[in-house]
Structure 1
Amino acid sequence: MLLSRHQVLGRHERDHERLERSAYLLLSRIDTQGPMSIGQLAEAFGLDTSTVNRQTAALLRCGLAERVADPDGGMARKLRITDEGGRRLSGHREVNRSCLARIVAGWSPEEVRELEDVLVRLNRSAEALEGRYWPRTEDDGGGAACRPPAPGEPAPPTA
């Protein structure tokens, strides 16, 4: 809760640029995975399609996303981040980073790495429990971190 409260303090830095939580999450997923349909977004977040439809409608109204034909030739139209959406997402992430940097400013590099390792492990454990894996582009080939290990397969590295 304290971390969340501290993040709110960062809103004063660029309040008019801050994204709503749902916009941030949707844009982050599309940014990571590429254009996605409303159905794909609903499945990825475990939400009802009507909920995601309302949230994406807000993104479209604000010019943060646009509808495009499926790049893979499918029937469903997909949502893609606009240049403005990418700029706003990048700005939001930078404010988050600067807030976190202030929190750990007095920490050693080893302590920061330890926190990073534990947070990665926490996120992956939550994903495994929920059965929904966030796509990643990591040095270990990316895909291994996005799914649970097969029986007998070693778990992916946590950093």
Structure 2
Amino acid sequence: MERTLDADGGVARKFRITDKGAEHLAAQREEFVTGLTGLTGVIADWPAERLRRFVADLEQFNTDIERVSGRSWPRPMAEG
């Protein structure tokens, strides 16, 4: 992670993920997904319809959490 200047000249602290950080995040995400969906993963033997419902419910959960906190979901990608 690296600090960047506030483009608007404010005093906000802004951070941008480095290439190394993005690679690390991607590797951790892959491990997490494999742990859920791999041959011995938590949801490996779920039928397609159950998985579809789970994903829809999780998306709704995230949307509602963000709505309650006053933030949109999914968040727009930062330009950079």
TM-score range, shorter chain: 0.7 to 0.9
Q: How far is 1:124 from its partner? A: 1.1
Partner Cα separation in structure 1 for residue 18 and residue 60 of structure 2? 32
Match of 2:57 among 110, 113, 118: 118
Structural RMSD (CA): 2.0
Higher-RCO chain (CA-CA 8 Å, sequence separation at least 6): 1
| Structure 2 stretches lacking a partner, 5+ long | none
* Structure 1 residue 84 corresponds to structure 2 residue 20: yes
Q: For each residue in 1:66-116, what CA deviation from the matched residue of structure 2 results, as whole angstroms up to 9, or x when unmatched?
A: 12234xx32246311111110111111111111221111111122111100
Instruction: Identify the structure with the greater helix proportion.
Output: 1
TM-score under structure 2 normalisation?
0.72
Identity of aligned residues (%): 34
Q: Please, which runs of 5 or more residues in structure 1 have no aligned partner? A: 1-64, 138-159
Q: Structure 1 residues 130, 78: CA separation in 2 closer, same or farther (over 3 Å shift)? A: closer
What SS is found at the alignment partner of 1:79?
Answer: strand
Give the match for residue 47 of structure 2: 108
Runs in 1 of length 4+ with deviation above 3 angstroms? none
How many residues in Structure 1 have an aligned counterpart in Structure 2? 71
> Taking structure 1 as reference, are residues 120 and 136 closer, same or farther at Cα in structure 2, changes over 3 Å only?
farther
